Amino acid sequence: MRKCMRLIKYEIEPLERFVLDQIPRSKNHKVNALTKLASLVDYDVPRTVFREVKPNKSIDEEKFMFLSRVTVWMEPIINLKKTDQLPSDPAEAKYVKARDKRLLNHLKRKVGNKARVEGSICNAYVTEEIANFCSNYFQPGVDTKSRDLGRNVNPDVASTHGLGVPELFREDCGRPGTDGRLRWLQDKEYDRAHLYVLANSGILSDYERRFEDYIVNSRPNIAKDDVWSKCEAEFPSWFKTNVLGAMTSDDVTRALAMGPSRQVRTWNQFFVNGYNFHKQEYGKNKSTMNYGVCVQAADRADYFGILEEVIELMYHDKPTLLSVAIGSSSLPSAYSVC
Lowest mean pLDDT among 37-41, 247-251, 286-290: 37-41
In a domain, 148, yes or no: no
In a domain, 278, yes or no: yes
266-293 pLDDT, tens digit per residue, is 988 888 877 888 888 888 888 888 888 8
Residues 196 and 326 in one domain: yes
Please tell me the distance from the alpha carbon of residue 143 to that of residue 150, in angstroms, as a whole number. 8
If you average pLDDT over each of 81-85, 109-113, 184-188, 227-231, which comes out highest? Answer: 184-188
Residues 321 and 223 in one domain: yes
Sequence letter at residue 224:
K
Q: How many domains does the chain have?
A: 3
Say if CB 271 and CB 154 are below 8 A apart: yes
Indicate the residue among 51, 67, 92 that finishes a domain: 51
Domain ranges, residue 41: 2-51
Residues 176 and 260 in one domain: yes
pTM over cut 0.75: no
Residues 37 and 92 in one domain: no
Please tell me the distance from the alpha carbon of residue 327 to that of residue 256, in angstroms, as a whole number. 19
Residue 1 has pLDDT above 70, yes or no: no
41-50 pLDDT, tens digit per residue, is 555 555 555 5
pLDDT for 182? 92
Number of H helices, E strands in the chain: 12, 9
In a domain, 150, yes or no: no
Instruction: Give me the helices (H) in the chain, please.
Output: 2-12, 29-38, 75-83, 90-108, 117-135, 167-170, 187-199, 205-218, 227-231, 235-245, 251-258, 280-283
The alpha-carbon radius of gyration of the chain (Å, integer) is 39
Phi-psi region at 294: left, alpha or beta (left = phi > 0; alpha = psi -120 to 50): beta
Map residue 98 onto helix, strand or coil.
helix
309 DSSP β-pair partners: 328
Lowest mean pLDDT among 63-67, 115-119, 166-170, 305-309: 63-67
